[in-house]
């Protein structure tokens, strides 16, 4: 498997993968998030490709100090193969190369099945709350 930055040619396939993985929401079209990440200097979307095409993604970005990981997704047929771990490691390396000293991610309430995955890879509860406000 090859891991590389996605291009605008990959947007539709990545959005479909996020929908398949249950990561998208009706009020937040994934295509917009992908395009925004690809056009920024402080972010990207990494894709995992096999001989059949795109099989995994992870969006990664940073603010110069703290890195964030979003949309870690692996296609159904490749789950349980270690691909999620490889994608997360690639995102962490991307952040290290850009000077980030910490990486954070959010797990939606109710998505308890992935907490064990992240804990196994060294991610712990940061004992913080995330607050949000819509600007639109």
pLDDT tens per residue across span 86-122: 999 999 999 999 999 999 999 888 888 898 899 999 9
Confidence bin at 34 (pLDDT 50/70/90)? very high
Question: What is the structure's pLDDT at 29?
Answer: 93
Question: What is the structure's pLDDT at 88?
Answer: 97
Kindly tell me if the per-residue pLDDT of 132 is higher than 90: no
Asked whether 26 and 34 are in contact (CB, 8 A), the reply is no
| Residue 79, helix vs strand vs coil | coil
- Distance between CA atoms of 28 and 7, rounded to whole angstroms? 20
Kindly tell me if the per-residue pLDDT of 130 is higher than 90: no
Kindly tell me if the per-residue pLDDT of 58 is higher than 90: yes
Question: What is the structure's pLDDT at 16?
Answer: 97
Considering the chain, what is the average pLDDT of its residues? 93
* 53 DSSP β-pair partners: 50
| Domains, the chain, with CATH or none | 2-120 (3.40.630.30)
């Amino acid at each position: 498997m090859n891991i590389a930055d996605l291009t605008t040619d990959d947007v539709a396939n990545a959005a479909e993968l996020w929908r398949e993985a249950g990561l998208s929401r009706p009020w937040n079209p994934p295509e917009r998030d992908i395009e925004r990440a690809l056009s920024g200097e402080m972010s990207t979307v990494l894709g995992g490709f096999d001989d059949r095409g795109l099989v995994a993604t992870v969006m990664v970005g940073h603010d110069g100090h703290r890195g964030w990981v979003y949309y870690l997704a692996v296609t159904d047929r490749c789950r349980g193969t270690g691909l999620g771990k490889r994608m997360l490691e690639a995102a962490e390396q991307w952040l290290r190369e850009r000077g980030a000293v910490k990486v954070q991610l959010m797990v939606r309430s109710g998505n308890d099945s992935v907490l064990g995955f992240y804990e196994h890879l060294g991610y712990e509860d940061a004992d913080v709350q995330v607050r949000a406000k819509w600007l639109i």
